[in-house]
Amino acid sequence: MPTKALNHHRKNLLNSKKEKQAALDAHAALETEHWELRDKCAELERELANVKHEQEDLLRRRIPGAEGGALPDGYASLSQLVLDVRMAREEAINQRHAKEQLQTVLHEVEQEVRSRYPALLLLQRLSDENLRRLWLPQARM
């Protein structure tokens, strides 16, 4: 009986050793992958910085007057300035369209008022005459 229990404990010990070794191997593999990914991330960040620099150079060559010129305060890059200018233009266009729509509506209202103005004046005169007839005879009494 003691040998049976001893064999059982030996099997458990061997399984634990195998599991420990598998965990250590997995840890080593993950650590290697971690460093590889860290290096890859650093490489990609360098590439991104190069692309941003190339974009800035391209913008400076394509935009008249941008070569070698200093950027306005508050702008770290020419691409940021170009983006803000584009957004400002879009906003100005939207405001211009809104103003044109408002002017169109106001013009329509003005035309409607002018077309109905003579009729309104006539109604006002009739109303005034009716009021005079109602009140003036009573005032004489």
Q: H/E/C letters for each residue in 70-134?
A: CCCCCCCCHHHHHHHHHHHHHHHHHHHHHHHHHHHHHHHHHHHHHHHHHHHHHHHHHHHHHHHHH
Query: With contact defined as beta carbons under 8 Å apart, do 109 and 99 qualify?
Result: no
Tokens of 42: 């650093």
pLDDT the model gives residue 69:
66
- Residue at token pair 């005079």: 132
Mean pLDDT of the chain: 86
Mean pLDDT of the 23-35 span: 94
What pLDDT score does 66 carry? Answer: 62
Residue type, 14: L
* Residue 131: band (very low, low, confident or very high) from pLDDT cuts 50, 70, 90: confident
Residue 14 Cα distances to 2, 17, 69, 72, 95, angstroms: 18, 5, 73, 71, 78
Place of tokens 């991330």: 41
**Contact by Cβ (8 Å): 56, 80:** no
> Cα separation of 74 and 80, whole Å?
10
